[in-house]
Amino acid sequence: MSRDIVQHAWQEFATHDAGRIAAVFTEDAEWLAPAGNATAVALGGPSHLVGRDTIVRFLAEDFPRFFVSDVSVTFHGFHADGDRVVVEETMTATLANGNHYANDYCFVFELKDGLIHRVREYMDTARGHRMVFGERVTT
């Protein structure tokens, strides 16, 4: 069941529809990505999103403004243990600056009452910086 909830949520994320995305998160949800990750730096935003409204704004408005086209996710695994689901994936896209983006991710979703309460996101931050900003890694 936990796995199904996260798979459904991922489908809702892809719609970029604020109402549909909001429906899968608790009001006090958090999304924690690595500090200084390329997406947060490029958008001038935080790497720790706190609250459903903040997360929804990122997924519905900021994400499609940065990853502008050809967004594709290849899932390598959904692993559920109780209220925790680990998702392994590769995402590719064309960025707003025209660069091609491809990176591997691991997400840990923690559920509460059938909704997403916390997401911990892991990725190769150096690779992300190279694809967004060029060869020089910015901090």
- pLDDT tens-place values along the chain, 139 residues long: 999 999 999 999 999 999 999 999 999 999 999 998 999 998 888 999 999 999 999 999 999 999 999 999 999 999 999 999 999 999 999 999 899 999 999 999 999 999 999 999 999 999 999 988 886 544 5
Structure tokens at 66: 């940065």
CA 61 to chain centroid, in Å, comes to 13
Q: What angle do CA 16, 20, 22 make, to 5 degrees?
A: 95
CA 76 to chain centroid, in Å, comes to 16
> Which pTM does this prediction carry?
0.91
Q: Which strands sit side by side in the sheet containing 48-50, from one edge to the other?
A: 48-50, 25-32, 115-123, 100-112, 84-95, 67-81
pLDDT at position 136 is 56
CA 63 to chain centroid, in Å, comes to 8
Rounded to whole angstroms, how far apart are CA atoms 132 and 66? 10
- Regarding beta strands 48-50 and 84-95, do their DSSP bridges make them parallel or antiparallel, or are they unpaired? unpaired
Give the burial string for 60-69 (b: 16+ CB within 10 Å, else e).
bebbeebbee
Q: What angle do CA 115, 48, 86 make, to 5 degrees?
A: 45
pLDDT at position 134 is 85
